[in-house]
Structure 1
Amino acid sequence: MRITDVRAMPVSDPVPEEMRHRTDLGTKVKTDATLVFVESDDGTTGVGASLGNPPTIASIVEHELAPHLIDADPLYTERLWEKMYDGSRWKPSLERGYSQPREDRRGITLEAISGVDIALWDLKGKLLDQPIYKLLGPVRDDVQGYASGGWAPGDEAEAEMRGYAEKGFDAVKMRVVGEDEFTIENAVTRVKAARRGIGDDVDLMVDAHGSLDVSTAIRLAERIEPYDITWFEEPVSPDDHAGLAEVRRATPIPIATGEREFTRFDFLSLMEERAMDVVQPDVARAGGFTEIRRIAAMASARGLRVAPHAWGSGVLFAASIHLAMALPNCHILEVSQAYMPLLTDLFEEEYDVRDGRVYAPEAPGLGFTLRDDYAERFEYIEGPEYVF
């Protein structure tokens, strides 16, 4: 079996004005992704997806990564990951037993590698007629989901978060910065309203998207402690691992982070700083299935739980489902509540999410089929995803 083609396609999904939400990131006007396709010589095609700027990702996939993959055996996923990560030095790296990475080994290059890796695992599952999570080694067939939203301003957060609980979710997440301007008082008002809306028996998580400085994050954590917060996500910049550890030491609220980290090496830094309680790698950014297995194993050795970041395209969410079914220390999975057809309507099949739980697909590979009109439905649109 040999790989005969590797290609990429930028896609977009505009958000109608009446469906847009605003956070510290700005107002979301569209969702972008890059679909990645890896084809074998029998005509079977695996599908992956990357985060990052789609035209740039497509160029990296087709001009930088594809030459390392053409004519290779697609079942050698570990070897192919090393070829992409190490570049021209992949052979001495494997022969000597230590990494010799390419210079552009983080950021958008890793996002491109992640998309290819997802496609390779989808292809492997199809060739072996097994869903990916069973190839990874299954530990469960379903997992707790949490409803991820929470943009409503002020006391309106009560109704929004109650609505998620009424869908059957027994865990929900809200943004620290919503439609209103951020102040500690505004954030506390919204958290208090959310807790009022969901009652005492539903877990409540808050997410700052790395938008706060250390002292503000600590002061906010102290103010929201009475509302039984399950975790405080990305309270400070992902560049400040030491600052994140400082926040963690200052509050009993568990700290979650990782959605903007790349490879096991970045997560090792977080672990050495003792900066988190919940590890949140993104399969379309941190290195695909191949690398996230390593990250999860490192986390397990330190008694840390894994909750994959699963916000983006349908391919990303489908891949995250398989991770959740195969990682022993994964206890929960993000389920977006935003308007996002690129996630919800990309496939012919529907996800099996019932009463707040996410169930594993049983078809080979990712277990989902791109809708026939995906290229037309999700034609790429130039411009940023968020605007201020």
Structure 2
Amino acid sequence: MKIIDIRDAVVPISSPIRNAFIDFSKMTASVVAVVTDVVRDGKPVVGYGFNSNGRYAASGLLNERFLPRLREADPESLVNEAGDNLDPARIWSTMMTNEKPGGHGERSVAVGVVDMAVWDAVAKIAGQPLYKHLADTCGDGTHDNSVFVYAAGGYYYPGKDDARLQEEMRRYRDMGYEVVKMKIGGASLEEDLRRIEAVLDVVGEGRYLAVDANGRFDLHTALAYAEALKPYNLFWYEEAGDPLDFQLQAELSKVYPGPMATGENLFSHQDARNLARYGGMRPDRDWLQFDCALSYGLVEYLRILKAIEAEGFTSRNCVPHGGHQLSLNIAAGLKLGGNESYPEVFAPFGGFADNIRVENGHVGLPQAPGIGFEQKSALIRTMRTATET
């Protein structure tokens, strides 16, 4: 078997929302299709991938470096020893040929897009949902039957007052989510506290609300927010400072007793290990948010899990950023702590299979082979349209 074609495209995921650091008015994403010579139901098996929100399309890197390396490789070097499926690790190594260590960032996004498509194809060829394939090949042979998910929203946008913020959070609770997340740091501390209290009037208790500063704060501001947030007993306080400022995170952990979360903007197992070692993160209460679609893909995410395990954390500490179906499969197959969800933004890439609903803060799993893109009609239509023209 072999890869016979690799296609990429750029699609918009723009919206008028903003967090504390960026707006999403010009946001784009890369979509990749990996076409194989394996035939199922009379059609070639095609694996699809895309990058998570918050990073732009990586088409330049894909077309100048990573896709040419795959196209030029001996097809047999990209398959497993049995010759009956693609080998994600070999494909990953081929893409990273002649790349120096370090330099994580947009490079990791480009590799992650292709990696997602490869794993989708691998599971389809194996005839299994990806979570089952991961449980059998990378896990302990068992998987979770449902996954904890929280509704990420609460963005700032023009004209959005407290009443509209409350309406948004009510919709999420009506959808079946228990925990919701809102943005902070894009307004004054006083205004953000008012917004938090408005949401608490909807969800009832702090344990149902997470807040996210998107790396906006310096240490002084992060500590000021920490003191103000303590009485609320929130689900977590997320990414207070720059993702690579491990000292800031460590100082915060000394004064903030509640759960904290960070890691979505760390893109390698080395950075994940450094966060676990030097960031003051506490395995008994804190959450790690590495997003495989931004951090070189699932091949690297497996290394991340090993790296944090050596530092006292487990897979249950991980709740990936991104709200996409690849992380949902990983969460079930490798027994993570949960997954993010975007019920109302970044369509059609956020959300889960059309026929699966969120119940009591948990979502079920699709039975179709692969990641499950075909079970989300708007998403598969977008990816097919983008890569077949």
- Counterpart for residue 114 of structure 2: 116
- SS of 1:44's equivalent in the other structure is strand
- Counterpart for residue 352 of structure 1: 356
- Counterpart for residue 385 of structure 1: none
- SS of 1:125's equivalent in the other structure is helix
AA partner of residue 234 (structure 2): I
- SS of 1:23's equivalent in the other structure is coil
Rate the CA distance shift 1:28–1:338 in 2: closer, same or farther, 3 A: farther
Deviates more, 1:135-144 or 1:155-164: 155-164
Between the aligned partners of 1:4 and 1:376, the Cα distance in structure 2 is 17
Give the superposition deviation at 1:172. 1.0
Picking from 258, 264, 268, the partner of 1:263 is: 268
- Counterpart for residue 138 of structure 2: none
Give the superposition deviation at 1:154. 4.5
Picking from 147, 151, 162, the partner of 2:170 is: 162
AA partner of residue 150 (structure 1): G
Deviates more, 1:160-169 or 1:270-279: 160-169
Rate the CA distance shift 1:61–1:378 in 2: closer, same or farther, 3 A: closer
Rate the CA distance shift 1:249–1:149 in 2: closer, same or farther, 3 A: same
Give the superposition deviation at 1:351. 5.8
Residues 66-85 of structure 1 correspond to what in structure 2 (within 5 A)? 66-70=67-71, 71=75, 72-73=78-79, 75-85=86-96
Picking from 252, 255, 262, the partner of 1:250 is: 255
Rate the CA distance shift 1:296–1:28 in 2: closer, same or farther, 3 A: same
1:225-265 residue CA offsets vs partner (Å, 9 max, x unmatched): 11111111100011311111111222102221111111101
Picking from 337, 350, 359, the partner of 2:343 is: 337
Rate the CA distance shift 1:6–1:156 in 2: closer, same or farther, 3 A: closer
Give the superposition deviation at 1:374. 2.3
- SS of 2:67's equivalent in the other structure is helix
1:285-318 residue CA offsets vs partner (Å, 9 max, x unmatched): 112111112212333441350001024xxxxx11
1:336-381 residue CA offsets vs partner (Å, 9 max, x unmatched): 1333323259x9x5162322322111111112226575269779xx
Whether the 8 Å contact between 1:12 and 1:342 is mirrored in structure 2 is no
- Counterpart for residue 284 of structure 1: 293
Give the superposition deviation at 1:109. 1.1
- Counterpart for residue 33 of structure 1: 29
Whether the 8 Å contact between 2:343 and 2:350 is mirrored in structure 1 is no
Whether the 8 Å contact between 1:212 and 1:237 is mirrored in structure 2 is yes
1:61-115 residue CA offsets vs partner (Å, 9 max, x unmatched): 2331224334122522112222323x14xxxxxxxxxxxx535741111111111
Whether the 8 Å contact between 2:291 and 2:322 is mirrored in structure 1 is yes
Between the aligned partners of 2:198 and 2:300, the Cα distance in structure 1 is 39
- Identity in percent: 30
- Counterpart for residue 319 of structure 1: 326
Between the aligned partners of 1:12 and 1:155, the Cα distance in structure 2 is 29
Between the aligned partners of 2:333 and 2:383, the Cα distance in structure 1 is 31
Whether the 8 Å contact between 2:9 and 2:386 is mirrored in structure 1 is no
Between the aligned partners of 2:27 and 2:204, the Cα distance in structure 1 is 32
Rate the CA distance shift 1:376–1:112 in 2: closer, same or farther, 3 A: closer
- SS of 2:370's equivalent in the other structure is coil
Give the superposition deviation at 1:31. 4.3
Picking from 178, 182, 199, the partner of 1:194 is: 199
1:120-173 residue CA offsets vs partner (Å, 9 max, x unmatched): 111111111111111111420211111111135456544433332233211111
Give the superposition deviation at 1:119. 0.8
Give the superposition deviation at 1:37. 1.5
Between the aligned partners of 1:309 and 1:219, the Cα distance in structure 2 is 25
TM-score by length of 1: 0.82
- Counterpart for residue 50 of structure 2: 49
Residues 5-44 of structure 1 correspond to what in structure 2 (within 5 A)? 5-15=5-15, 20-42=16-38, 43-44=44-45
Between the aligned partners of 1:37 and 1:62, the Cα distance in structure 2 is 13
Tell whether 2:152 aligns with 1:148. Answer: yes
- SS of 1:81's equivalent in the other structure is helix
Between the aligned partners of 1:327 and 1:130, the Cα distance in structure 2 is 15
Rate the CA distance shift 1:21–1:275 in 2: closer, same or farther, 3 A: same
Whether the 8 Å contact between 1:293 and 1:327 is mirrored in structure 2 is no
- SS of 2:209's equivalent in the other structure is strand
Whether the 8 Å contact between 1:12 and 1:378 is mirrored in structure 2 is no
Between the aligned partners of 2:129 and 2:382, the Cα distance in structure 1 is 22
